[in-house]
Structure formats: structure tokens, C-alpha cells
A and B are shown apart, each in its own frame.
Chain A
Amino acid sequence: NAGVTQTPKFRVLKTGQSMTLLCAQDMNHEYMYWYRQDPGMGLRLIHYSVGEGTTAKGEVPDGYNVSRLKKQNFLLGLESAAPSQTSVYFCASSRYLAGGANEQFFGPGTRLTVL
């Protein structure tokens, strides 16, 4: 099993360009998440999904959109990139557990620089 994979691993964009980050998991997890990690800050949740066809906003959703057309894939889109979106982006997935918390499994991350 590959676990959680992310593409691309690195990307440099110019301000105003768009791009899509792809996350895939082969563990049949219901929940998927997109986080960003910036120096001196904890991971912050951008958007999440509790199942195929559903998405919801997290803590810092502005400037991002997501889609979950298939259970195993979760896409993160930047429509018009800004320098403030320079960050490391992590995708994660977890099983559903009623009333509790499950371990989240993370992908290797995407390092994005916006010039």
C-alpha cells in the first residue's frame, strides 16, 4: 500500500497563476483533509471532506477550493495564487470513528512557492 500520496512535490508559481494539488489514498478512508504548515505555526486546516462528494471549510479556506469526486482522491485548487499562499501543503486521511478520533495519515507534502 502506498498510503497517502501527493503530487506535485514542489512547485513555483507566479502571482495570479492557478494550480491543482492532487492527493490520493489507498486505505479506503472516509475522511480527507488539506492542511498548510508555515514556520512557527501548527498545521492549519484548509478544507476537509467526510465522504465522497462532500467538502467543508476548515480554519483557513480563503483562496482555496476543493473537490472530492472519488473517495480516494481529494483535490486542492488555487485559482489565483498569492505570495501569502507560499507554504508546505499536507494532505491527510483517516477512518471514521463515531465519537472519537482516529489517527490521521499524512502525505509527504507539497512545497509551494508563489513569487
Chain B
Amino acid sequence: RKEVEQDPGPFNVPEGATVAFNCTYSNSASQSFFWYRQDCRKEPKLLMSVYSSGNEDGRFTAQLNRASQYISLLIRDSKLSDSATYLCVVNEVRGYNKLIFGAGTRLAVHP
């Protein structure tokens, strides 16, 4: 079983749609959670951290369910510029800042 699992997609949605991505992680000792965004042939960049209480940043909402070991990302009012791959990332504190990356979910927003 992969340590961080994501649906690879692609999710093809029209502009203005709401889309949700899910992610599960295997290590219950994981302590920090993130969503990174990676544009085609570019480097990953931090989109947002995920907090236990859930958090929102504009059109983006992230949720964490520790009991189910499940993380989600909701994008409202999708824009063409949201087209990218979204990486679910889990941190395991083992004396250094170790990040475990999911393979990513690809989103394509069309006019």
C-alpha cells in the first residue's frame, strides 16, 4: 500500500464548477499535511497547509480527518488557471522535515 494515495484523475471540469480531491495516508503518526500544486513541467509549490479544524483560502478549502486518515481539497468556482496537478503531502517528523508526496491528481478546467 502506498503511503499517500490519490486518485490520479484527470478531473475535467468546466469553468465555475466545484471540484473535490481526496487523499488517504497510511501512517497514523503523521503530523502535518499539505496540498502542493504542480503546473505542467514545473516544480511543486505549496498551495496550502491543512489544519485539523479545516481551513479556507479564498476559493480553496482543505479538510483533515485524522480518524479516517483522509485529507480533502475543495476548489470552488474553478478557473482556467486552476488547471494543474495537485499533490497531497504528509509530513512525518523523524528528526528532519520529511515529506511524503502522493502521485498527484490532475485537474483540467475547460471554458
Contacts and interface: CB of A to CB of B under 8 A. Distances in A.
A106 B43 contact: yes
Given A42-B87, A107-B43, A50 B96 contact: yes
Interface size class of A (residues with CB under 8 A): 20 to 34
Interface stretch (A12-20, A75-83, A94-102): A94-102
B42 A104 contact: no
A97 B104 contact: no
Given A31-B97, A100-B32, A42 B104 contact: yes
Nearest to B31: A101
A102 B101 contact: no
Contacts of A90: 43-44
B21 to A, nearest CB: 14
A101 B103 contact: no
B32 A106 contact: no
A2 interface: no
Contact of A101 (B43, B45, B93, B104): B93
A106 B42 CA distance: 10
A74 interface: no
Interface string A29-46: 001000100001111110
Contacts, number: 57
Interface of A: 31, 35, 40-45, 48, 50, 56, 90, 94, 96-97, 99-104, 106-109
A88 B31 CA distance: 28
Contacts of B97: 31, 94, 96-97, 101-102, 104
A43 B38 CA distance: 11
A91 to B, nearest CB: 9
B14 interface: no
B46 interface: yes
A50 B96 CA distance: 7
Nearest to A50: B96
30 contacts: A31-B96, A31-B97, A40-B8, A40-B103, A41-B103, A42-B2, A42-B4, A42-B87, A42-B101, A42-B102, A42-B103, A43-B87, A43-B101, A45-B98, A45-B99, A48-B98, A50-B95, A56-B96, A94-B97, A97-B97, A100-B31, A100-B91, A100-B93, A101-B31, A104-B97, A106-B45, A107-B43, A108-B42, A108-B43, A109-B43
